[in-house]
Amino acid sequence: MWLAFIPLQLRNGIRIGAEGISIGRFRPTFIPFRRIRKVEIGVSFWASRAVELILDDGRVVRLVAGGTFSKKREALRDAIATALRVYEAQPRRPSRSAPLARGGRDRQEWIDALRRFADPTYRDNTFTPEELWDVLEDPSVDPTARAAAAHMLREEPENRPRIRVAAEAAAESKIRVALEEAASEAEMHEVETKLAKVRD
C-alpha cells in the first residue's frame, strides 16, 4: 500500500513524496514521477555535482545534492530511484476519479459539483467510501480528484486521521496543504479555499 511510503524532506528544499518531487522552499517546482524516465548522476564537469532527472520530453532537471560529496549525490539519486520504483510498482486499479477532477470547470462550478456529490440525497451520488479512498490514496490520480475525494471523506470525522496520512506522504505543496486542511477541524469554506488552489 503506497501510504506506507515515508516522505523525505532534505535541507536543500527537496521533498520526495509518494507522487513526485518538490524542489525549492518558497516557490517550489513539482515534478511528478509519471514524467521521470531516468535518474542518474551527471557526467559532465559542471553536471557532476548534481543528480539529473531525465523527463519524458527530453528535458534534464539537475538537483544539487550538497557540495562536492559524491556520497550525498549517490544518496539523493538512490532515494529518488527507490521512490520512483515504489510509485511504478503500485497496482493501478481503475478508479472513478474523472467526475471528481476539476477539468475545465471554474472554481465555483467545481465546488458546487462536489457539494452535490457529497449530498446523500443527490440522485447521481454513487461514490462509495471505498471508491473515494481509492482515488485519494493513489498518487497517480489527478491531484484535483484526490483533493476532491478528501473533501468528501472529511464529512466523517473518523476519516480525518487517514486523510492526514495521505497529506504527510505528498510532495506537491498545494495538494499537501489541501489534504492537511481536509484532515483538520477547519470550517468547510476554509477547506474549499485550499481545495480551489490545487491544479491538475
Whole-prediction pTM: 0.80
pLDDT value at residue 126: 72
CA distances from 170 to 22, 115, 178, 187 (A): 9, 24, 10, 22
Average pLDDT along the chain: 85
Which residue type, as a one-letter code, is found at position 56?
Answer: D
Compare 5 and 171 and report the one with higher pLDDT: 171
Mean pLDDT (whole number) for 25-49: 84
Decide if 77 contacts 69 (C-beta within 8 A): no
| pLDDT higher than 90, residue 183 | yes
pLDDT value at residue 168: 93
Could you tell me which CATH class the domain 2-89 is placed in? Answer: mainly beta
pLDDT value at residue 1: 45
Decide if 63 contacts 53 (C-beta within 8 A): yes
Could you tell me the residue ranges of all domains in the chain?
2-89, 107-195
**pLDDT tens-place string over residues 47-80:** 567 899 999 999 999 988 765 567 888 889 999 9
| pLDDT higher than 90, residue 197 | no
**pLDDT tens-place string over residues 139-150:** 999 999 999 999
**pLDDT tens-place string over residues 108-140:** 899 888 888 877 666 666 788 899 999 999 999
- Distance CA(173)–CA(171), nearest Å, equals 6
